[in-house]
Structure 1
Amino acid sequence: MGRLVFLGCLLLVPAVSISQQNDFVGSWLLWVEAGNQGEPAYGSLDVEQAGDTLAVYVDGGPAALLELEGNRIGFEFDWDDLWDLPHVSVLNGMLENGVISGTVRSEGQDRGAWRATRRLPVDRNAPPEPADLNGIWGPPALISRHTFDLTEAGRAADAAYDPTLDDPILRCVSDGLVRMSHGPFHIEVLEGDGRVVVIHEDLHEVRRIYTDGRGFPEGIEDAGLAMGFSIGHWEGSTFVIETRGLKRTVWDAAGMPISPSAIVTERWYLDDTGRLHIEISMDDPENYHRPVLMHIVRSKRPADTVVPEYACDPHGFYRGLEFSDQLQEYWGRSGNRL
């Protein structure tokens, strides 16, 4: 599957002093006024020293540095909208009083403001103070990156993927954990004895997160589970989940791969307004040089909300293949079936 070409262009930026560059280096919490659904969204901005310039990453995917002069920085990155169509946004901003802020433009149009603040250290030894996560949570707002830092194996998997034949959702097969986590659907969270159950509107998939202190089953790497096997614990008021045992699949319509050795870590917490933040990190060194990151925000729905029924019938997909004379090609791609 082809990627946007902007990342292939090396851009010269004005020389600045090392001390000025160091002011930008580090991990930042990124906020944009308009994410993939046109609503405010969060993400991760990482700035690293790279020779005599800086390397910029948004949600684990590379961004192109456009400007670096004094306290000014400019960069661009690609992202997918709600219909999986790719776009490129340019962010220009200034660093003042420890905060980077500026404006966003995409395809020549203003997309509002952005800012980045330094990430605070995480207290992983905080005593448990469980928050109430029960309820129905609306579709997520996020940045939704399009391009990531693939390894050679990851690039080969991406190149072999045909979105018209290999996408599991075309056959009404589970999207899998990562894709369901950021898809445009509701979730319902039910906290029980020794487990937290998440019911997804998407395909009515059910996920169980065990909180009774158990470890991962023996041979979990070969489990091949769409949603994986998840165990969770509390760090203060943050619910931390680790998932292993995922099957080899893709986590977006464009075909970004997941290997069976991938480990997904999530941090769930409520902000002061009661919104649910879910920070996802997928560590999959077979396919990516650095972890894939997402920051999802969901708003709570009223208790009497009725989650819509999800309907999916693969008949149309198979009939379409028959009419387009692609059915035999599809059967021959069984090795790509995810």
Structure 2
Amino acid sequence: VSVFLATLIFCSASYGEESTFEGRWIISLQDKKRVLEGLLEIENINNEWRAYLEGGPVSIEISNNDIVLTADSRDVRGFVFDRKMIGKIDKNIIKGTYTQEGAAAQKEDPGPWRAEREKLKIQKELKPNPSDISGLWVATQQLDFRKYTMALTPNGKKWLENYLPYYDQPDVRCESIGLPALVTYTFPFEIIASEDRYTMIYEYQSKVRRIWMD
């Protein structure tokens, strides 16, 4: 009986430790002087661990307080590689070290990574507070993980099968890279305020955007 109770307590404790991994985490990774940040979601469905980084699936292994995550990414030249993150949980913090695996034009040295539970945000009504946003702007150098493989619908998977990464990128075909990419790119852009509109001039690709306020 004592052996049975000890085994039961051990199993319960082990499951309790592993279950603390579930939830939403803000994950950060240190690569030399730059910091990569993203949202990590971990869930357990039918005793199977699943994890998503920035909405894309990642490989996950959990044993008691230890965790191993492997997430693919794409560097600035389009090469796909993996980051293997090995860590340990301590209450509401996961931390450890990571290594880069696979061929990549932008090499990364092994370094630290950590994740903290996402804090609950209290929604409250904000009073209008107009600000002058005219002037020159440039995106911060704090980057995301550039997650490559994403969770796709059946139609999305079918479309991806015919996608050629080195030929179908918008800028390769002399097309606009899109507003989100223009705003977060390293090239500056200027905002000009007029009486009835804002004009945004982007250095990269010489794009112009106008937002009418009437």
Structure 2, unmatched stretches of 5+, are: 1-11, 103-107
Q: Distance in 2 between matches of 1:177 and 1:84?
A: 20
Q: Distance in 1 between matches of 2:137 and 2:145?
A: 22
Number of equivalenced pairs: 195
Q: Distance in 2 between matches of 1:51 and 1:97?
A: 24
CA drift at 1:31: 0.8
Counterpart residue type for residue 93 of structure 2: V
CA drift at 1:176: 1.4
Residues 88-97 or 159-168, more deviating: 159-168
TM-score between the two structures when normalised by the length of structure 2 = 0.76
**Secondary structure at the counterpart of residue 181 of structure 2:** helix
Partner residue, 2:164? 162
Contact preservation (8 Å) 1:139, 1:186: no
Q: Distance in 2 between matches of 1:185 and 1:46?
A: 31
**Secondary structure at the counterpart of residue 33 of structure 1:** strand
2:97 aligned to which of 96, 103, 106:
103
Percent of aligned positions with the same letter in both sequences? 26
Structure 1, unmatched stretches of 5+, are: 1-14, 215-338
Residue 204 in structure 1 maps to residue 199 in structure 2: no
* 4+ residue runs over 6 A deviation: none
Residue 32 in structure 1 maps to residue 20 in structure 2: no
CA RMSD, 1 decimal: 3.0
Q: Distance in 1 between matches of 2:52 and 2:170?
A: 29
2:180 aligned to which of 173, 178, 181:
178
Counterpart residue type for residue 160 of structure 1: N
Partner residue, 2:65? 71
Partner residue, 2:47? 52
Contact preservation (8 Å) 1:64, 1:75: yes
Where do residues 179-194 of structure 1 align in structure 2 (5 Å cutoff)? 179-189=181-191
Q: Distance in 2 between matches of 1:21 and 1:132?
A: 49
Partner residue, 2:3? none
CA drift at 1:69: 1.8
Residue 137 in structure 1 maps to residue 132 in structure 2: no
Q: Distance in 1 between matches of 2:211 and 2:64?
A: 47
Contact preservation (8 Å) 2:139, 2:185: no
Counterpart residue type for residue 26 of structure 1: G
Partner residue, 1:92? 86
Q: Distance in 1 between matches of 2:186 and 2:59?
A: 28
